[in-house]
Copies of this chain bind each other. A is one copy, B any other.
């Protein structure tokens, strides 16, 4: 899952980035509205964390522009201000959630999880496909009840596929959502990880749609 943080505070921004990366997200950080708007317009994120108080361009403006451009990733708005009228404005501008500073990092992560989950159309924090079960909260994966040890990348890949169960996911899409900005697109990394996941979870878990991408079968599909 790839996240965009738009935050100008010199300590909070990098700190958030580090925390989220250690949680398993690919994170890009923009330190002003201009940059943030550009990244959000040109790259593909699964969610964005947007500070309202920004230099150059106001956070609300950035959000509004994204929405006009039909950029529909979920946005979690951060603000120091605490009046509910600001919240209403933010929500109406297209924010999907709202968090007042100061906040607990854990709550931020929980809300982020919820946002991504909902954006993918999943309600439960447990993602399943056939015998495979993944708990987004604990990061555990089981196959028919048995715990399976996945590496970080394997987990990211599987997680993304599970979040988009039933959908055909292209290799490009996977690369864009598992890695951040700078990554060599010309490599067969995805294939390699798909192979490794298949070795651990069974070959039938991931279906190859030749020429289009990969797909996790919906049990009742």
Contacts and interface: CB of A to CB of B under 8 A. Distances in A.
Contacts of A143: none
A74 interface: yes
Contacts of A215: 138-139
Nearest to A111: B91
B125 A110 contact: no
Contacts of A91: 107, 110-111, 113-114
A199 to B, nearest CB: 18
A6 to B, nearest CB: 16
Contact of A210 (B85, B94, B152): B152
A106 to B, nearest CB: 6
A72 to B, nearest CB: 5
Contact of A88 (B107, B120, B152, B168): B107
Interface centre among A67, A96, A113, A155 (most CB of B within 10 A): A96
Nearest to A139: B168
Contacts of A210: 151-152
A35 interface: no
Contact of A67 (B92, B113, B124, B221): B124
Interface centre among A84, A91, A122, A211 (most CB of B within 10 A): A91
Contact of A137 (B92, B103, B123): B92
B123 A209 contact: no
A11 interface: no
A92 to B, nearest CB: 5
A42 interface: no
Interface in A120-152: 120-125, 137-140, 151-152
Interface of A: 66-68, 70-72, 74, 84-85, 87-88, 91-97, 103-104, 106-107, 110-111, 113-114, 117-125, 137-140, 151-153, 155, 166-168, 209-212, 215, 221
